[in-house]
């Protein structure tokens, strides 16, 4: 087995463990807060939102820094720092006794949340451009699979062993992932083409992004897609409750949520392969249209099975966006600044993670939950128009021969 294939296999396993472990604690975060004192429902709901969102907000600020360190010192050391850092923060959450302490630990977790984007930068740097989409799509399957099963495993463990033990088991899983990386990853030496990495200052990286219209557009798309996707997720259980009178709403909501993940899992690698063949901008254009077409009808369903089918189809469409964006960056940015550029792209995604739930909550509170699907569909269509316009501008600037 070549070094490249071995690294891809190891990072697939590690990303699965990190993604699964990081999402294990999400289903019961509000319940864990409720055990820390005699709090009102409003207090628990407010602090659940703050504790959930602070990780993404902090990661939004820090991600480019990890990317820059990776470009300068290598990606493996950053994988170890962030992997063991996440494990430590979750380990300490199992012993914390106050809401404010949990908030601080979630903030620290955001500071060290750079494992998965750094893994993308590592695999991207060793992958030929001609197969970047397929390879990064394969890697993304590990993250998607982990995120799919993580909440189910976490909920089961919390019911079986209690909250504290679930945090300890989760931390151990992430530590195992980091240890696997430490032992198994062989990072390729920087080539002659990459030895002038010190020439790229932060200002030069930002200038490169700003002056590359399509690159900047694709990064804005990352924000819009995450915002659209996360706007409905916190409301999905409530929406499922309007479609069925069954008692097991939590399970049925999980089923509707997981349907999107299964769609991701099935299609991610195929979208990456198609991007390698016809161009990532073209694939992104298609995916944005399909995402809008599959999410808008979710506002019109009258039965739960209809929602599950549409969530599955939506998952197929949205599953190709992340590897297509990453592969595009692989083409659009020099190798010696790719980690930092991917870090900025990850910041856009984290910002969408924060803005999405707030945006969806405002829309649902004003004009109803079903309207969120219409507005979200509008976001995908707006992203499509933005990408189409940017491509048209670039082709016009290149001239008829371009």
DSSP string, 167-181: HHHHHHHHHHHHHHH
Helical packing angle, 115-125 and 3-24, nearest 10°: 170
The pTM for the full model equals 0.75
| pLDDT string in tens for the chain (402-residue length) | 788 889 999 999 998 888 887 777 766 677 788 888 888 877 876 787 788 778 888 888 888 888 888 878 888 999 999 999 999 999 999 898 899 999 999 999 989 888 888 888 888 888 887 787 788 878 878 887 887 777 777 777 777 778 788 889 889 989 998 999 999 998 765 554 454 445 577 788 888 888 888 888 988 998 998 888 888 876 777 788 888 877 666 667 767 877 888 888 888 888 888 988 898 889 999 999 999 999 999 999 999 899 999 999 998 998 888 888 878 887 888 777 877 888 888 888 888 888 887 788 888 888 888 888 999 999 999 999 999 998 888 887 765 543
Of 347, 266, 332, 330, whose CA–CA distance to 127 is shortest? 330
Length in residues, the chain: 402
Helical packing angle, 338-367 and 370-398, nearest 10°: 140
pLDDT given for residue 325 in this prediction? 85
Where are the domains positioned within the chain?
A: 1-187, 197-395
pLDDT given for residue 401 in this prediction? 41
Please report which helix (H) or strand (E) contains residue 366, including its range: helix 338-367
User: CA-to-CA distance for 49 and 318, rounded, in angstroms?
Assistant: 25
End-to-end CA distance of the chain: 40
Q: Is 131 helix (H, G, I), strand (E, B) or coil?
A: helix
pLDDT given for residue 192 in this prediction? 47
User: CA-to-CA distance for 124 and 68, rounded, in angstroms?
Assistant: 15
User: CA-to-CA distance for 37 and 34, rounded, in angstroms?
Assistant: 6
Other beta carbons within 10 Å of 305:
11
The token duo for 286 is 């298609």
The CATH architecture to which 1-187 belongs is: Up-down Bundle (1.20)
Cα separations in angstroms, 292 against 116, 301, 367, 392: 27, 15, 20, 21
Domains 1-187 and 197-395 are alike in CATH topology: yes
State which CATH number among 3.40.50.360, 1.20.1250.20, 3.40.50.970, 3.40.50.300 fits the domain covering 197-395: 1.20.1250.20
């Amino acid at each position: 087995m070549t070094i490249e294939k071995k690294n891809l296999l190891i990072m697939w396993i590690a990303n699965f463990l990190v993604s699964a472990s990081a999402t294990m604690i999400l289903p019961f975060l509000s319940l864990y807060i409720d055990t820390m004192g005699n709090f009102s429902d409003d207090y628990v709901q407010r602090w659940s939102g703050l504790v959930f969102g602070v990780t993404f907000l902090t990661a939004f600020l820090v991600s480019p820094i990890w990317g820059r360190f990776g470009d300068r010192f290598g990606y493996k050391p950053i994988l170890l720092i962030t992997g063991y850092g996440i494990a430590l923060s979750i380990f300490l959450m199992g012993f914390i006794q106050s809401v404010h302490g949990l908030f601080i630990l979630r903030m620290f977790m955001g500071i060290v949340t750079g494992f998965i984007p750094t893994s993308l930068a590592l695999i991207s740097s060793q992958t030929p451009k001609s197969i970047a989409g397929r390879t990064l799509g394969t890697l993304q399957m590990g993250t998607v699979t982990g995120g799919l099963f993580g909440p189910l495993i976490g909920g089961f463990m919390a019911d079986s062993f209690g909250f504290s033990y679930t945090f300890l088991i989760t931390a151990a899983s992430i530590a195992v992932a980091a240890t696997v990386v430490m032992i198994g990853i062989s990072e390729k030496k920087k080539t002659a083409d990459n030895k002038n990495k010190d020439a790229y200052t932060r200002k030069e990286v930002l200038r490169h992004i700003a002056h590359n219209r399509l690159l900047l557009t694709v990064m804005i798309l990352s924000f819009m897609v995450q915002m659209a996707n996360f706007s409905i997720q916190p409301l999905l259980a409530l929406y499922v409750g309007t479609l069925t009178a069954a008692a097991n709403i939590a399970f049925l909501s999980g089923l509707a949520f997981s349907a999107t993940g299964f769609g991701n899992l099935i299609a991610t690698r195929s979208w990456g392969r198609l991007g390698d063949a016809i161009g990532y901008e073209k694939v992104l254009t298609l995916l944005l249209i399909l995402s809008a077409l599959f999410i808008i009808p979710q506002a019109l369903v009258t039965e739960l099975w209809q929602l599950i089918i549409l969530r599955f189809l939506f998952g197929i469409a949205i599953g190709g966006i992340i590897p297509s964006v990453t592969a595009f960056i692989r083409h659009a940015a020099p190798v010696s600044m790719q980690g930092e550029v991917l870090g900025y792209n990850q910041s856009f995604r984290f910002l969408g993670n924060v803005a999405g739930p707030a945006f969806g909550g405002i829309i649902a509170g004003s004009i109803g939950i079903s309207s969120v699907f219409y507005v979200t569909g509008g976001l995908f269509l707006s992203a499509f128009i933005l990408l189409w316009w940017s491509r048209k501008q670039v082709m016009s600037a290149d001239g008829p021969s371009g």
